[in-house]
Amino acid sequence: MTTLRDTAELFGSLHRPGSPLLLPNAWDPLSARLVEAAGGPAVATTSAGVAWALGTADGDHIDRDSVLALTRRVVAAVSVPVTADVESGFGATPDEVGVTVDGVLAAGAVGVNIEDVHPDDPSALRDPAEQSERLAAARAAADAAGVPLYVNARVDTYLRSVGAPDGRFADTVARARAYLAAGASGIFVPGVVDVPTVTRLAAEIDGPLNVLAGPGAPPVAEFAAAGVARVSLGSSVAAAAYAVARRAARELFDDGTYAELEGGLAYGDLNALMS
């Protein structure tokens, strides 16, 4: 029987610089099954998509228990490893981050994203030493459970435009090195997609690099050549799905027609995925 430790080791092995793990992030059991059915070797949740689906805003507004319950349902829906986006860890203290990790493991997930944006000020980041303590607590909780949890430490310098532009690269690398030393498995730097910068980040960071892709970003092949080990789509898949819902609603109310519904997946196909 495959153990949680086995699944965690498998998930970790999927992070290969030059041959990145591709993650079109899911937000519920059906979107997770669609990812798996398309050939995904793993499923990652998006905190934004999860929050929206559960009726709240992204950015530390949802509670830990709701996220863990959803994570448990996603894990149960697929046979591939699952990693959960737990925002900044759902806790004011490192110990509380450890409690979150305990819950993630109990839900059957084998990875987490933990971001360093300050929950009280989206334009600021936590002090690197404070964030390192939080990541160390996550690692300690996983070690205590005997599971090599993949801790993907998110550095929001670029995404939040923190600090002077000419110092952003050095700050990102310094944070990444501190986070890896604290027990992170890999580093996630959303908000930067230009290949020269990504290439430099991959060279300077001694751990798997995760980037956030979407419309306008280079193709996967260019990220692979830059040394990236993981490419995520984040909230953009959920946002695209909700865009269809908005267009269909506006068309119905404004024109009384239904063209926006063309190309939808067949009811029977979706229902069969959930059977």
Q: Which tens digit of pLDDT belongs to each residue from 10-39?
A: 999 999 999 999 999 999 999 999 999 999
Q: Where are the domains of the chain?
A: 4-235
pLDDT of residue 2: 84
Q: What CA–CA distance (Å, rounded) separates 157 from 43?
A: 25
The pLDDT assigned to 1 comes to: 74
Model confidence over 150-176: pLDDT tens digits?
999 999 999 999 999 999 999 999 999
Q: What is the pTM of this model?
A: 0.96
Residue 56 has pLDDT above 80, yes or no: yes
pLDDT at 120: 84
| CATH class of segment(s) 4-235 | alpha beta
CA distance 102 to 68: 10
Q: Which two tokens stand for residue 229?
A: 């080990």
8 Å CB contact between 73 and 79: no
Q: What are phi and psi of 212, to 5 degrees?
A: -105, 120
Query: How far apart are the C-alpha atoms of 26 and 97, rounded to whole Å?
Result: 23
Mind listing the pLDDT tens digit for each residue in 234-245?
999 999 999 999
The amino acid occupying position 100 is T
Q: Given this model, what pLDDT does residue 165 score?
A: 94
Tell me the C-alpha to C-alpha distance, in Å, between residue 197 and each of 156, 201, 202, 217.
Answer: 15, 6, 9, 13
What is the tens place of the pLDDT at every residue in 83-134? Answer: 999 999 999 999 999 999 999 999 999 999 999 998 888 789 999 999 999 9
